[in-house]
Amino acid sequence: TLFCRLQRAKVQVEILGNHPQGIYEVIRDLAQYKRPMLVTETGVDGSKDPEAIDAWLLKTMAWTRQAMADGFDVRGYYYWSLFDNYEWNIGLHMQMGLYEIDPKDPSKKRVARSAVESYRQIVSGNALDPARLQKLLLGVDKEAFAPLRKRSWNMSRQSATL
């Protein structure tokens, strides 16, 4: 979901399905309002594919990074969610958290998914290790990511605009 503040109102756009490039497309379209943007509540269900969360995080972060490099005023990216949670319309069936929680376990033990390490690298170093990116994007259409290979992975606004 992307939010863009317009005077006193919020514009909310929801992208449903697995289309990471959609983050870039919506950022580009919302740029016409000339307001700073935050990418919020972006995530994917990892119940069927344990690596889906890591791949989603990296791909949507890559497209957000590309939007920043192209001059769009993106001020932040917030993954949804830290833990698996209850979704009012689906219940406990979606597993979107960076940390897995077994709802049947009385202690609610938290187990880190592979995406935690990617997110940790991005947050702590403001960048992503290119070797990790290559490993996680194996089998992905390389042409879709051609523009991203030409730039630094540093996620800071200053570096993104170089």
Q: How far is it, in rounded angstroms, from Cα 11 to Cα 16?
A: 16
Question: What pLDDT was estimated at residue 31?
Answer: 94
Is the whole-model pTM more than 0.85? no
Of residues 66 and 158, more confidence is placed in 66
Write the CB contacts of 128 (distance below 8 Å, at least 6 apart in sequence).
Answer: 58, 61, 118, 121, 122, 153, 155
Q: How far is it, in rounded angstroms, from Cα 105 to Cα 127?
A: 35
Q: What is the pLDDT of residues 61-115, one digit of tens each?
A: 888 988 999 999 999 888 888 888 777 777 777 788 899 988 889 998 999 998 8
Cis ω before 124 (30° cut-off from 0): no
Question: What pLDDT was estimated at residue 134?
Answer: 72
First to last CA, the chain: 27
Q: How far is it, in rounded angstroms, from Cα 142 to Cα 94?
A: 29
